[in-house]
């Protein structure tokens, strides 16, 4: 069960954030704030407290706070984001994370290792980490050693198409896994009860489980129906403005 979440408010500068889909247009900051408000309320409805951090105008993508830390039941790991324009965001999350962990429960990924939290999927005390354009082998090696100190394990996942591992995966606990795109045929995930997402709803792979609730993005009825069929309480949140920056539901919070 999760008790805590950390989010960061979207900066006005988000209109200049990184995107692989310029055809979607630039984000509307005012609408993004409203969507972020709804996201925070959804988190609270799942029974967690929410620490809301101020926007960082110097970092357009900084609302995607998941990428700068990985918070576990036993310790936290400050990452080293692989995108140059985002790398220093990690320096602004440390104080917030230290509100919940002691110094000996902290670890840090350092250069030449890179690691984005969006490439990390937690399944109990085992972690799957995508080897992506943002997360390299050295980063995964450091992450594995840090987890070992916390009594946890890790394995790397080869990937070729997705931005982040969790672009195409969402673990819903109880062995249930939302899976899409290239990960549908990845052997390591065959042992899970897989909810396959069709290409036309690919964005909806990025859902989040919190205390037997599942938050899903608005506009993807087939995925929503599959999650509801498993008995979860589903909360729908519109993330259209964050999608324009390649961001989804999991990207917007740290959950622990």
109, 116 Cβ separation under 8 angstroms: no
Q: How many other C-beta atoms are found inside a 10 Å radius of the C-beta of residue 64?
A: 30
> Length of the chain, please?
256
Split at pLDDT 50, 70, 90, the class of 131 is very high
Catalytic annotation present for 164: yes
Rounded percentage of the chain residues whose pLDDT exceeds 70:
100
Which of 6-10, 18-22, 226-230 has the lowest average pLDDT? 18-22
The pLDDT of residue 78: 98
CATH number for the domain spanning 147: value is 3.75.10.10
For residues 95 and 109, the answer to whether their CB atoms sit within 8 Å is no
Give the pLDDT score at 27. Answer: 98
- 90 pLDDT band, cuts 50/70/90, is very high
Range of the domain at 146: 4-255
Nearest C-alpha neighbor of 55 from the set 88, 7, 116, 117: 7
Q: What local confidence, expressed as pLDDT, does residue 100 receive?
A: 98
For the segment 93-113, the average pLDDT, to the nearest whole number, is: 98
**For the sheet containing 213-217, what is the strand order?**
208-210, 213-217, 233-237
Q: Which of 46, 71, 164, 207 is catalytic?
A: 164
Are 116 and 138 in contact, with CB atoms under 8 Å apart? no
Residue 170: predicted pLDDT: 98
Give the confidence band of 88 by pLDDT, cuts at 50, 70, 90.
very high
Question: Which member of 63, 154, 205, 251 is catalytic?
Answer: 251
The pLDDT of 47-55, averaged and rounded, is: 98
**Residue 86: per-residue pLDDT:** 98
Task: Provide the domain count of the chain.
Answer: 1
């Amino acid at each position: 069960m999760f008790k805590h979440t950390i989010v960061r408010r979207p900066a006005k500068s988000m209109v200049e954030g990184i995107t692989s889909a310029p055809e979607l247009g630039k984000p509307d900051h005012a609408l993004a704030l409203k969507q972020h408000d709804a996201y925070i309320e959804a988190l609270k409805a799942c029974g967690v407290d929410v620490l809301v951090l101020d926007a960082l105008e110097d970092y357009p993508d900084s609302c995607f706070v998941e990428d700068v830390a990985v918070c576990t039941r036993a310790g936290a790991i400050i990452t080293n984001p692989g995108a140059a324009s985002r790398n220093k965001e990690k320096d602004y999350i440390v104080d917030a994370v230290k509100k919940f962990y002691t110094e000996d429960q902290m670890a840090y990924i350092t250069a030449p290792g890179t690691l984005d939290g969006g490439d990390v999927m937690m399944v109990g005390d085992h972690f799957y980490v995508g080897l992506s354009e943002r997360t390299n082998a050295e980063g995964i090696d450091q992450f594995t050693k840090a987890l070992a100190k916390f009594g946890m394990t890790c394995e790397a996942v080869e990937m070729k198409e997705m931005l982040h591992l969790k672009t195409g995966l969402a673990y819903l606990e109880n062995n249930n896994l939302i899976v899409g795109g290239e990960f549908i045929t990845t052997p390591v995930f065959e042992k899970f009860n897989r909810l396959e997402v069709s290409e036309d709803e690919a964005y909806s792979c990025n859902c989040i489980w919190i205390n037997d609730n599942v938050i899903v993005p608005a506009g993807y009825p087939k995925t929503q129906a599959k999650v509801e069929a498993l008995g979860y309480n589903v909360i729908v949140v519109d993330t259209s403005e964050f999608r324009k920056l390649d961001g989804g539901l999991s990207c917007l919070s740290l959950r622990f």
